[in-house]
Structure 1
């Protein structure tokens, strides 16, 4: 496919503007300044900013933190009493005590409203553009505005409606918000391109169908966010089935035989991806999803002795026990989604000298003693034959050489439970091969929608509409049976909403779906690890106080959510 250079122009402000952004039509982006651009470059420069902040939205301390650390799946204690304290924001997030001054809430909000604003700028310009791609880009910009609004509705309970860039947005909630997002996605559905044409990094036909499915599935929650129970309307469930059927029948995506390949460095071409944050190296992506959980003494790359983890969140003992309960006497590694071993030293402790090319960190949920490249004075230790020396890891970088990097099941806010080694860790996304710091140059696309979720949404709609357990079971088992790169998980023999919720946890852990799932399944007011708060008002987050203060010249315009 032809590769082009795109200069980014922030036309609304009348100035030249630089940004890291997603590529268009598999293009290589060249962020160079230019005072003269063609019509095509101007059009590309308008649509690029619409996607540009997706990597920021999907960083570890924005959308991920709010969607995962607030749930029974992930917890981030005050490590060793010195790291990840951050004025208690992660403790509060997990315990459902977040406030309107929380910086992660603020950063997520700002990224969303900026992205909506950029979408409106692009929409306004494309309406009068004569560029041949204008109608396509207009549809994408409208669709992305709807997508950002859907996240705002899910997280903050509000949607912004705005067509005139010079006028204030109209803020809507509940059913009116659902209808607006629905109308926007339906309007652009016939105009966007199939995934095969534009790739998973741009809004495509299957992605629109998937977003509609997700909207209809959660519509009952969005219409009555504080309800004691949700009314999953038959018409909504019919629409979930209708649009998931369209995706599956279209052949625009295929289930991946290798589960962890979905989250690998080369996943941009993985056929299971439907819509994703394009993070390949030329786009200056972030590697945060890979480094956030693992130890600061795990160095996954032979070429870069400064690239390591950070001892961030671990999975809760509650979530781990859901695996144990599912597999009984069998170890959870029976399920290929739980763990993938990449180095033989884990099963053969004598195998301590490894070629650089063969050195790879294990993937999935990491338990117990960890092995890896050994460092002395900032350099890797080598065997006499020049190979990388691998051995048991200790917390040398934390000045705790006597503390083994031995991940324990227990993790909480106590001194023992918040030690550096507490909690099983997650390495679901592959550590970027080119990340010299562990934080930068992400290669793996971050999943927004993939085909497994389409099957699971259809299964849920079948259960909620008519208690079609057989149909739901078939969909879930289709996903399980697809993972044939290793022995797939055994077929389930029955299906209920509780079993489906558990299965979604196994399939989508660490993928920023858990909070939304827990609310929809009526689990979010439960108790886990350090969380006992059962206030239904905590289902959505507070509107940042600085946003409310900034709108103070419009009395009643931006009202704080109940309970904050």
Structure 2
């Protein structure tokens, strides 16, 4: 296994390059191998691969699937008894029956391991660089290595420690792993630049503060992953608050008045975002976050009649009911985070002819009958005046023209609950304006850290440290009150851990935080639609069988997680 790991952790970054780039002061980091590079171009090329696989990690079938479909937020049945079957991996994922041969687990693992490898290659290559940016780039690569290890720890319970590409990695777990990641983040923090200088698509100082807050908040879980309770140490909660304060007081981020602009096609300049996967179309843009959930008969772009959805996951009725319980007799659409109407045909049936420029799919949680551009024989139907004709949608593309695209609250693994129209859908990220297929070119940056999470983490630390409900309530209400483009959510009058967990669901649904939140709040072993497994061993995913097999000639080196 030592030879195998040596190949994985030193060779992959040299042998596997992608076309991805990212941004530094509006200059693109390019990893293309070109002759006669300048010193600065060579340094740039060494660092770029450290970021290059982030879009792959954050695809809908890798990190998103593991973090969301395993929870009470998302469920993905066999649509129509056939689509999204995938040998039952999404059913198993939701029911906490995932195995070590699951391809989504393997792909997520591979993106993390290869990214760590690329960071190690960058760190070592930059040692001999005479670039003026060598120290900064080294800090970025080292910080990204810590970030990937932090995700690896959260998902699989281990981290890989390696500096010399010729040596075998050391594997750490539990408290040792937490201390290692902490030390790495602290080491690079003074060297990194501000978010204002490098933007959210690069690891910046505020991002390090946010990652430290997240690490300290989850440290109790990482130290005792299968525990019946977690010891949230006062000094670690103090550090959560300390680093949250640094971000808030630095002025490097501001809460957005327009909630859905945080996930819009132009969100690279949204002040709320601290750290993100840079997905601008001229760079890395190819995520599928916007197409994954919506119907195959929803065509969001007037210019592209082939760009549609895929009838993927919906939200569970359990998650929807948490909104209903919070708002009582008031429709939860009253909360600007729940829904944004972009086409008035939903409320004014006479508005059936729409200018191409005004045609824009609604956002948030989509319920009931859906309206959109009507398509016949691959072309959109036009009104007499040439405008786009909009009407009630049916499942024409599924050869089920009698089935309305009428999303129901019911969604489960029964025949009735697995039809194409079951489950309320999520269109949180804006559908790419340049996507001619719907299956690529997502141009909205995918959020890793944003300011609302900083306030929410600070609120949680206040509650867990000494029961400072007033301080926590103030933080949560500040976030709620910031969404002023439309009517802001009403202020809460009390705060508890259960209420904070609910609020995190409202604020961060579909943002790949739910599984980690559920574990930390003691909710992951609960029951929800189609899930009753209460085995604490399922808090971690299995290490892929291929990795275990590869380590078989080095007994005791890579041990499968308990329960698999």
Calculate the TM-score normalised by the size of structure 1.
Answer: 0.97
Match of 1:304 in 2: 304
Partner of 1:222: 222
Distance apart, 1:308 and its partner CA: 0.3
Match of 2:3 in 1: none
RMSD between aligned residues: 1.3
Counterparts of 1:158 and 1:129, CA distance in 2: 32
Q: Contact 1:287–1:431 at 8 Å: present in 2 too?
A: no
Q: Secondary structure at the match of 1:324?
A: helix
* CA deviation profile, 1:336-382 (whole Å, cap 9, x unmatched): 00000000000011110000000000000000000000000000000
Please give the alpha-carbon distance, in whole angstroms, between the structure 2 residues aligned to 1:18 and 1:260.
30
- Paired residues of 2:276 and 2:449 also in contact (CA < 8 A): yes
Does the 8 Å contact 2:31/2:46 carry over to 1? Answer: no
SS at the partner of 1:414?
Answer: coil
Q: Deviations over 1:246-269 (max 9, x none)?
A: 000000000000000000000000
On the 8 A contact 1:257/1:484 being kept in 2, the answer is yes
Show the counterpart of 1:168: 168
Aligned-partner Cα distance in 1 for 2:13–2:182:
31
After TM superposition, the structure 1 stretch with the greater mean CA deviation from structure 2, 543-552 or 470-479, is 543-552
**Aligned position for 1:278:** 278
Question: 1:196 maps to what in 2?
Answer: 196
TM-aligned CA distance change 1:375 to 1:194, over 3 Å? same
In the alignment, what sits opposite 1:427? Answer: 427
How far apart are the structure 1 equivalents of 2:33 and 2:139? Answer: 27
- Counterpart position of 1:242: 242
Q: Classify 1:106/1:13 alpha carbon distance in 2 versus 1 (closer, same or farther; 3 Å).
A: closer
User: Hey, what does 1:502 align to over in structure 2?
Assistant: 502
1:155 corresponding residue in structure 2: 155
Q: Contact between 1:12 and 1:121, CA under 8 Å: does it hold in 2?
A: no
| Structure 1 residue 21: Cα displacement | 2.9
Tell me which residue corresponds to 1:368. 368
CA distance in 1, matches of 2:524, 2:506: 17
What's the secondary structure of 1:227's corresponding residue?
coil
Whole-angstrom CA distance in 1 between matches of 2:11 and 2:327: 57
1:394-426 CA-partner distances (Å, limit 9, x unpaired): 000000000000000000000010100000000
- Residue 130 of structure 1: CA displacement? 1.2
CA contact (8 A) 1:69 1:76 kept: yes
Q: How does 1:125-140 map to 2 (within 5 A)?
A: 125-140=125-140
2:385 corresponds to: 385
Is 1:552 the counterpart of 2:552? The answer is: yes
3-state SS of the aligned residue for 1:290?
Answer: coil
Who is 1:4 aligned against? none
Corresponding residue for 2:324?
Answer: 324
Contact 2:294 2:427 in 1 (8 A): yes
3-state SS of 1:421 partner: coil
Task: Give secondary structure in 1 for the equivalent of 2:217.
Answer: helix
State whether residues 505 and 514 of structure 2, in contact with CA within 8 Å, keep that contact through their aligned partners in structure 1. yes
Secondary structure at the residue paired with 1:153? Answer: helix
Select between 313-322 and 12-21 the one with higher mean Cα deviation. 12-21
Deviation (angstroms), 1:286: 1.8
Alignment of 1:251-262 (within 5 A): 251-262=251-262
The structure-2 alpha-carbon separation of the partners of 1:388 and 1:29, relative to structure 1 and needing over 3 Å to count, comes to farther
How far residue 278 of structure 1 moved from its aligned partner, in angstroms, is: 0.2
Q: In the TM superposition, what whole-angstrom CA distance separates every residue of 1:44-69 from its partner, at most 9, and x where no partner exists? A: 10110000000000000000000000
Deviation, 1:30, is 6.2
**1:75-110 deviation per Cα after TM superposition (whole angstroms, max 9, x unaligned):** 000100110000000000000000000000000000
The answer to whether 1:144 aligns with 2:167 is no
> Are residues 119 and 356 of structure 1, via their aligned partners in 2, closer, same or farther at CA, if it must alter by over 3 Å?
same
Q: 1:32 to 1:176 in 2, by over 3 A?
A: closer
- What is the alpha-carbon distance in structure 2 between the residues aligned to residue 127 and residue 497 of structure 1? 47
Partner of 1:436: 436
| 2:22 and 2:30 in contact (8 A); partners too | no
Pick closer, same or farther for the CA change 1:423–1:145 going to 2, 3 Å.
Answer: same
Cα distance in 2 for partners of 1:12, 1:104 equals: 20
Check 1:143–1:14 CA distance in 2 against 1; reply closer, same or farther (3 A cut): closer
Quote the offset at 1:129 in angstroms: 1.6
Unmatched 5+ stretches in structure 1: 1-9
How far apart, CA to CA, are the structure 2 residues paired with 1:13 and 1:296?
37
Task: State how far apart, in whole Å, the 1-side matches of 2:86 and 2:270 are.
Answer: 37
Task: Give the distance between the partners of 1:101 and 1:556, measured in 2 at CA.
Answer: 20
In structure 2, C-alpha distance between the alignment counterparts of 1:481 and 1:552, rounded to whole Å: 55
Residue 128 of structure 1 deviates from its aligned partner by: 2.4
Give the conservation status (yes or no) of the 8 Å contact 2:23–2:198: no
Equivalent residues of 1:314, 1:411 under 8 A apart: yes
CA contact (8 A) 1:287 1:435 kept: no
| 8 A Cα contact 1:287 1:432, kept in partner | no
SS at structure 1 position matched to 2:417:
coil
Conserved? CA contact 2:19–2:32, under 8 Å:
no
Which residue of structure 2 aligns with residue 19 of structure 1?
A: 19
CA distance in 1, matches of 2:96, 2:549: 23
Provide the rounded CA distance (Å) in 1 between the counterparts of 2:474 and 2:209.
21
**How many Å separate the matches in 2 of 1:134 and 1:241?**
32
User: What secondary structure is seen at the aligned counterpart in 1 of 2:336?
Assistant: coil
Which residue in the other structure is 1:7 paired with? none
Give the deviation of 1:442 after TM superposition: 1.6
Unaligned runs of 5+ in 2: 1-9
How far, CA to CA, are the matches of 2:553 and 2:24 in structure 1? 39
Give how far 1:115 is off: 0.2
TM-superposed deviation, 1:285: 1.5
Structure 1 pair 380/392, CA: closer, same or farther in 2 (3 Å)?
Answer: same
CA distance in 1, matches of 2:205, 2:278: 17
Query: 1:152 and 1:300 mapped to 2: Cα distance?
Result: 35
Distance (whole Å) between structure 2 residues aligned to residue 479 and residue 166 of structure 1: 48
Partner Cα separation in structure 2 for residue 348 and residue 73 of structure 1: 31
**Aligned-pair distance for 1:35?**
2.0
Following superposition, the deviation at residue 556 of structure 1 comes to: 1.1
